[in-house]
Homo-oligomer: A and B are copies of this chain.
Amino acid sequence: MNIILASTSTLFGGSYLEYLREELIDLYSGIDELVFIPFARPGGISHDGYTEKARMFFETLGIKVKGVHEFEDMKQAVNDAQAFFTGGGNTFLLVKTLHEEGLMTLLRENVQQGKPYLGCSAGSNIGGQNMKTTNDMPIVYPPSFECMGLVPFNLNPHYLDPDPGLKHNGETRETRIREFLTQNDLKVIGLREGNWIRKKGDRIRVEGSELTRIFEPGKEPYEIGPGSEL
């Protein structure tokens, strides 16, 4: 496999995908067209508008972008694609749409064949085993929480440390993930903004500018540095 699962598309103050530029040149090496999956975006921007945003960035890498929604037969489009990119937004909406269109399994099969895959945020969540560690609001009811399982764990994108100054009784991100572990026997990668997971062949590493926080059943959470194997 040849995939990147990134915490976010955009760093604070940065421009779209810019911090991943060098990685994306490596990921999409030899590719001149990719299929973009815009289904996570619930509002403010249409599927066409969202695809256009991706298209403008990938133009600078010499890669053409087609939105999967532009094809009459989306399954055929996935099978014919050279590579994929799934943008962020709402994971519930993304997972619901992929299951309902019969694309979740098909996408997994195509990525498992070695086609490059980039996910950002919600698009990274679907690379995990299931979407049970998303931060998103359950604005729609998906027929299943199961995802592609490209990696043998779950991700928590946009991982955020507790704010000790906040006078609020909502749960912290760490509390939420610990709650997940009371109900599920599965490792969770707390992926801070600036970090991504890189799987190339069978090797899985975490990369980026920040430490990464790992949550495992029966263990205290711990941190690993960029370049660590997962």
Number of copies: 2
Q: Cβ of B160 and Cβ of A168 under 8 Å apart?
A: yes
Q: What's the interface size class on A, roughly? A: 35 or more
Contacting residue for A193 out of B158, B169, B171, CB 8 A: B169
Given the complex, which residues of B lie within 8 Å of A44, measured CB to CB?
A: 178
Q: CB distance A139 to B179 under 8 Å?
A: yes
Binding site for B on A (CB under 8 A): 8-13, 42-44, 89-90, 92-93, 131-141, 144-145, 158, 160, 163, 167-171, 176-184, 193
Q: Are A138 and B138 in contact (CB under 8 A)?
A: yes
Q: Which residues of chain B come closer than 8 Å to A180, judged between CB atoms?
A: 137, 139
Q: 17 more A-B contacts (CB under 8 A) besides A13-B167, A43-B181, A168-B193?
A: A8-B169, A11-B169, A12-B167, A42-B179, A42-B183, A89-B179, A90-B179, A133-B139, A135-B171, A137-B180, A138-B145, A139-B182, A139-B183, A140-B183, A158-B169, A160-B168, A160-B170
